[in-house]
Structure 1
Amino acid sequence: MSSDASPAPAKTPVTLREVAASAGVSVATASKALNGQGRMTAETRARIRETAQRLGFRPNSLAQSLLRRRSFTVGLLTNDTYGRFSLPLMSGVSDALVDAGVSVFLCNVEDDTRLAQLHVEAMLDKRVDGIIATGKRIDRHLPVDLANLRIPVIYAFTQPDPGAIAFVSDDAGGARLAVEHFCRLGKKRIAHVSGPSGFAVVHARAQAYRDVLIERGLPVIEPLLGAWSEAWGHEAVGKLFGAKAGREGAPDAVFCGNDQIARGVIDALRERGIGVPDDVGVIGFDNWEIVAEATRPPLSSVDMNLAALGREAGLALLSLVGGKPAEPGIRKLPCRLVVRQSCGRPPGG
């Protein structure tokens, strides 16, 4: 069936001249107001911006980029294919950059050197203003050399190149929060179950665990190291409680290296008839909400504040792009303890 209806003509973009005429100012004044430049009253600037928004004016981003010699884009490189760490970090980066009109695009380099190099070259071809490199662990480089690029590079939650600026979470400080919280709850025999020995964070958290117990005069149970998995948490309970369940000397609290381990610990304790948190308190690490909130009881966990870490990385990159120098080195950002029901209450509280 034929139709005589023709498609509606595309709307002509609103011009800066139309904005200026509607606001009753010159084109030059309108341009300065919309770019945050020039001297004028706050009322005039607000009126021009409101007029532009009402008319649906959109500045020519290509022209702006050429004028300012910037693309107003930033690349985020990661090998965290699952997105467990990179996605909350990217949220923080975007939050830091959105008010500056800067967009972020994510490139997953996996662990492929050739793919990573292709992404970097594509970013340089697109003239990104800078690159933020992030990963799935803080003690490994991404599979690409980012040193000596002609644009600023910030590292966040990955091992940096020498002399670079990097942001990481304070894992030792986070472990301290967990163990000290158990101590405030009156726990006397606190065990630690963590991940593989090849991870730097495993040793940092284990040492903080030992330090707190020694400071408090409490016995140190040698940390159990294994996989980052529920299965390992389940197995570790057998090692900790196998011959001690219901007897003196069994742990009354378990600090776990991640939330998956903690979930396995809680399941195994339940199977043995050991109550959480009444008999044994449990705290995890990462505050992976999809795991922590679905655990029964809901899991207390150390949060690495990845969104805040990403925000700081984004702000640092903006500063470098703006020409402000920054001292190289690694900045450690504090963690926070999110208390849910799995660790129990203080005596009489």
Structure 2
Amino acid sequence: MGEKRATVRDVAARAGVSPGTVSKALNGTGQIARETRARILAAAEEIDFRPNALARSVFERRSYTVGLITTDSFERFSVPVMLGAEDALGAGRISVFLCDSRDDPIREQHYVDVLLGRRVDGFIVTGRTSNERAPLEVSADVPVVYALTPSARAGDCSILVDDVAAGRLAGEHLIRLGRRRVAHLTGSEWFDASRRRAAGLASALADGGLSLAVPPLFGDWTEAWGRQATHMLLRSAPDVDAIYCGNDILARGVADSLRELGRRVPEDVALIGTDNWEFIAHGARPPLTSVDLGLPAVGRLAAQRLLDAIAGNPHAGREHVPCHLVVRASTDDAAPPT
């Protein structure tokens, strides 16, 4: 059998104080003389005392758990956000309950009620789009941070990707490459991300004295739309020399059609995607240059903002996480593998 684990009573006996005084000293609460606190901390270290997590939660009135609510059934976006959040929360030994509402408000409220019953310290809410969503229905004293999918309530804390900057990065890269006939294929115009990336691209081109070869082609977020849109595009603008796509899956479809039509990538047409979904980008032929939106960083910052709120220092409003371009052979045939 292993050695018996030290308890609060053992620390109290060694330091010559009551168990209640030990609890106050270890939790940083109550009016305790500096010398007494130092003696208690030394006693705890000498007998290798490690507080029980349940007892810690009782004394500190915290559960050291956080609820992560997602509407992203495909998990393409919520998983990187969640992993980033866990990186930040793990340092504080905080556990995460992940619940998928499947875009069902009734299911979401059920999960919220269950997690509140478990006394979670707060919530991170995420989804698969950057469109606004209704605020979570919780009391004002429960901290909530929105990640990727912002709250429609302006005063709530929301951590977002920078879709306008993503479009600008793509446009600036194409201008540096000397491309002059640029097109944009993207998903549904219903998505805020589609419109913002298109606006960012148009802004970068305008700064370089250029404009889009044709208006943006909005459609679906699928390879099939990428293939179809490429044929439509080259019929109306056969001299296009660069295409920026709203996501990497679209770009894969574009690459297929360009090969079918005898256009070389990147020699004839430079191609950029968005998301930097690595198994898609690496699997493309040639490997796909893509804008990385920084989803794990969104999760990490959301977790940090939630920890601040739990500690009594809430943040308000919207913050954007920087994105960056990952250059591969679809824009630069000399680019090293990444």
- Change in 2 beyond 3 A, CA 1:193/1:31: same
Partner AA of 1:61 in structure 2? A
1:152 aligned residue:
143
Gaps of 5+ in 1: 1-8
Gaps of 5+ in 2: none
Partner AA of 2:322 in structure 1? P
Aligned length: 324
Q: Do the aligned partners of 1:34 and 1:49 also contact (CA within 8 Å) in 2?
A: no
Q: Do the aligned partners of 1:16 and 1:31 also contact (CA within 8 Å) in 2?
A: no
Q: Offset at 1:85?
A: 0.8
The 1-side partners of 2:294 and 2:51 are apart by 35
Q: Do the aligned partners of 1:283 and 1:299 also contact (CA within 8 Å) in 2?
A: yes
Partner AA of 2:83 in structure 1? S
Q: Offset at 1:146?
A: 2.7
Q: Offset at 1:36?
A: 8.4
Q: Offset at 1:307?
A: 0.7
The 2-side partners of 1:298 and 1:273 are apart by 18
Q: Do the aligned partners of 1:303 and 1:335 also contact (CA within 8 Å) in 2?
A: yes
Q: Output aligned runs, 1:271-310, within 5 Å.
A: 271-310=260-299
Q: Do the aligned partners of 2:251 and 2:273 also contact (CA within 8 Å) in 1?
A: yes
Q: Deviations over 1:165-209 (max 9, x none)?
A: 111111001110111001011111111001101111111111111
The 1-side partners of 2:109 and 2:4 are apart by 38
- Change in 2 beyond 3 A, CA 1:32/1:237: same
3-state DSSP of counterpart to 1:293: helix
Q: Deviations over 1:206-259 (max 9, x none)?
A: 1111112122112322111110000011011101223665xxxx1111000000
Q: Offset at 1:297?
A: 0.9
TM-score, normalised relative to structure 2: 0.86
Q: Output aligned runs, 1:122-141, within 5 Å.
A: 122-141=114-133
Q: Does 1:341 align with 2:301?
A: no
Percent identity of equivalent pairs: 44
1:3 aligned residue:
none
The 1-side partners of 2:209 and 2:7 are apart by 71
1:254 aligned residue:
243
The 1-side partners of 2:42 and 2:168 are apart by 49
User: Which of 202, 210, 235 matches 1:242?
Assistant: 235
The 1-side partners of 2:175 and 2:229 are apart by 22
Partner AA of 1:329 in structure 2? G
The 2-side partners of 1:19 and 1:181 are apart by 65
Q: Do the aligned partners of 2:291 and 2:325 also contact (CA within 8 Å) in 1?
A: yes
Q: Do the aligned partners of 1:164 and 1:329 also contact (CA within 8 Å) in 2?
A: yes
- Change in 2 beyond 3 A, CA 1:320/1:341: same
Partner AA of 2:223 in structure 1? E
TM-score, normalised relative to structure 1: 0.83
Q: Offset at 1:345?
A: 5.9
3-state DSSP of counterpart to 2:158: strand
- Change in 2 beyond 3 A, CA 1:49/1:261: farther
The 1-side partners of 2:122 and 2:4 are apart by 30
Q: Do the aligned partners of 2:27 and 2:59 also contact (CA within 8 Å) in 1?
A: no
1:219 aligned residue:
211
Q: Output aligned runs, 1:42-121, within 5 Å.
A: 52=48, 59-121=51-113
Partner AA of 1:62 in structure 2? L
Q: Offset at 1:114?
A: 1.6
Q: Do the aligned partners of 2:65 and 2:120 also contact (CA within 8 Å) in 1?
A: yes
Aligned-pair Cα RMSD in Å: 3.0
- Change in 2 beyond 3 A, CA 1:268/1:165: same
3-state DSSP of counterpart to 2:283: coil
3-state DSSP of counterpart to 2:190: coil
The 2-side partners of 1:170 and 1:128 are apart by 30
Q: Do the aligned partners of 2:161 and 2:322 also contact (CA within 8 Å) in 1?
A: yes
- Change in 2 beyond 3 A, CA 1:47/1:237: farther
Q: Do the aligned partners of 2:263 and 2:269 also contact (CA within 8 Å) in 1?
A: yes
